[in-house]
Amino acid sequence: MCGILAVLGCTDNSQAKRSRIIELSRRLRHRGPDWSGLHCFEDCYLAHQRLAIVDPASGDQPLYNEDKTVVVTVNGEIYNHKELKAQLKSHTFRTGSDCEVIAHLYEEHGEDFVDMLDGMFSFVLLDTRDKSFIAARDAIGITPLYIGWGLDGSVWFASEMKALSDDCERFMSFLPGHIYSSKQGALRRWYNPPWFSEQIPSTPYDPLALRKAFEKAVIKRLMTDVPFGVLLSGGLDSSLVAAVASRHLADSEAFQQWGSQLHTFCIGLEGSPDLKAAREVADYLRTRHHQFHFTVQEGIDALEEVIYHVETYDVTTIRASTPMFLMSRKIKSLGVKMVISGEGSDEIFGGYLYFHKAPNKEEFHQETCRKIKALHLYDCLRANKSTSAWGVEARVPFLDKEFINIAMSIDPEWKMIRPDLGRIEKWVLRNAFDDEKNPYLPKHILYRQKEQFSDGVGYSWIDGLKDHANKQVTDAMLMNASFVYPENTPSTKEAYYYRTIFEKFFPKNSARSTVPGGPSVACSTAKAVEWDAAWSKNLDPSGRAALGVHAAAYEETVDTKAADLKNGSPQKPQGMLEKTAAVA
Write the CATH number for 207. Answer: 3.40.50.620
Q: What's the CATH number where 33 sits? A: 3.60.20.10
Q: How far apart are CA 508 and CA 162, in angstroms?
A: 11
Question: Are 286 and 152 in the same domain?
Answer: no
pTM beyond cutoff 0.85? yes
Question: Are 133 and 154 in the same domain?
Answer: yes
Q: What is the pLDDT of residue 448?
A: 83
- The single-letter code of the amino acid at 369 is C
* 488: alpha, beta or left? (left if phi > 0; alpha if psi -120 to 50): left
Question: Are 187 and 212 in the same domain?
Answer: no
Best CA proximity match to 210, nearest among 238, 184, 240: 240
The range of the structural domain enclosing residue 163 comes to: 3-192
Q: How far apart are CA 29 and CA 45, in angstroms?
A: 17
Q: Does residue 574 lie in a domain region?
A: no
Question: Are 8 and 53 in the same domain?
Answer: yes
Q: Does residue 575 lie in a domain region?
A: no
- Exposed/middle/buried for 305, CB within 10 Å: 0-12, 13-18, 19+? middle
Cis peptide before 62 (omega within 30 of 0): yes
Per-position DSSP letters for 424-471, written without gaps between them: -TTHHHHHHT--SSS-SS-HHHHTPPP--HHHHT-HHHHHHHHHHHHH
Question: Are 168 and 220 in the same domain?
Answer: no
Choose the catalytic residue: 2, 10, 99, 523: 2
Question: Are 249 and 172 in the same domain?
Answer: no
From 192, 214, 246, give the residue that closes a domain.
Answer: 192
Question: Are 157 and 212 in the same domain?
Answer: no
Q: Does residue 578 lie in a domain region?
A: no
* Element holding 578 (H helix, E strand): helix 576-582
Strands lying side by side in the sheet with 338-340: 288-293, 263-268, 228-231, 338-340, 393-395
Q: What is the pLDDT of residue 545?
A: 46
Q: How far apart are CA 482 and CA 519, in angstroms?
A: 11
Residue 267 marked in a binding site: yes
Furthest-apart CA pair in the chain: how many Å? 76
Helix (H, G, I), strand (E, B) or coil at 134: strand
Q: What is the pLDDT of residue 63?
A: 95
Q: Does residue 424 lie in a domain region?
A: yes
Note whether 542 and 315 are within 8 A (CB). no
Q: Does residue 14 lie in a domain region?
A: yes
Residue 381 marked in a binding site: no
Q: What is the pLDDT of residue 562?
A: 37
Note whether 134 and 180 are within 8 A (CB). yes
Q: What is the pLDDT of residue 579?
A: 32
Q: How far apart are CA 84 and CA 117, in angstroms?
A: 8
Residue 341 marked in a binding site: yes
Q: How far apart are CA 461 and CA 455, in angstroms?
A: 7
* Residue 2 among the catalytic residues: yes
Question: Are 208 and 330 in the same domain?
Answer: yes
Q: What is the pLDDT of residue 557?
A: 40
416 DSSP 8-state letter: S
Q: Does residue 493 lie in a domain region?
A: yes
Note whether 126 and 133 are within 8 A (CB). yes
| Per-residue confidence in pLDDT tens, the chain, 584 aa | 799 999 999 988 899 999 999 999 999 999 999 999 999 999 999 999 999 999 888 888 999 999 999 999 999 999 999 999 999 999 999 999 999 999 999 999 999 999 999 999 999 999 999 999 999 999 999 999 999 999 999 999 999 999 999 999 999 999 999 999 999 999 999 999 999 888 899 999 999 999 999 999 999 999 999 999 999 999 999 999 999 999 987 565 545 555 668 999 999 999 998 899 999 999 999 999 999 999 999 999 999 999 999 999 999 999 999 999 999 999 999 999 999 999 999 999 999 989 999 999 999 999 999 999 999 999 999 999 999 999 999 999 999 999 999 999 999 999 999 999 989 999 999 999 999 999 999 999 999 876 655 566 877 999 999 999 999 999 999 999 999 999 999 999 999 999 999 999 999 999 999 998 744 333 445 677 788 777 666 656 655 544 555 544 444 444 434 344 333 344 333 333 333 222 22
Question: Are 387 and 490 in the same domain?
Answer: yes
Q: What is the pLDDT of residue 251?
A: 61
Q: How far apart are CA 106 and CA 102, in angstroms?
A: 6
Residue 335 marked in a binding site: no
Question: Are 135 and 230 in the same domain?
Answer: no
From 137, 168, 192, give the residue that closes a domain.
Answer: 192
The phi, psi pair for 95, rounded to 5°, reads -130, 175
Q: How many CA atoms lie within 13 A of 159 on its CB side?
A: 35
Q: What is the pLDDT of residue 57?
A: 84
Question: Are 87 and 224 in the same domain?
Answer: no
415 DSSP 8-state letter: T
Q: What is the pLDDT of residue 249?
A: 78
Q: Does residue 581 lie in a domain region?
A: no
Q: Does residue 212 lie in a domain region?
A: yes
Question: Are 353 and 390 in the same domain?
Answer: yes
Q: How far apart are CA 540 and CA 538, in angstroms?
A: 6
Q: What is the pLDDT of residue 549?
A: 53
Q: How many domains does the chain have?
A: 2
Q: What is the pLDDT of residue 108?
A: 95
Write b or e for each residue in 80-96: b if 16 or more Cβ atoms lie within 10 A of its Cβ, otherwise e: bbeebbeebeebebebe
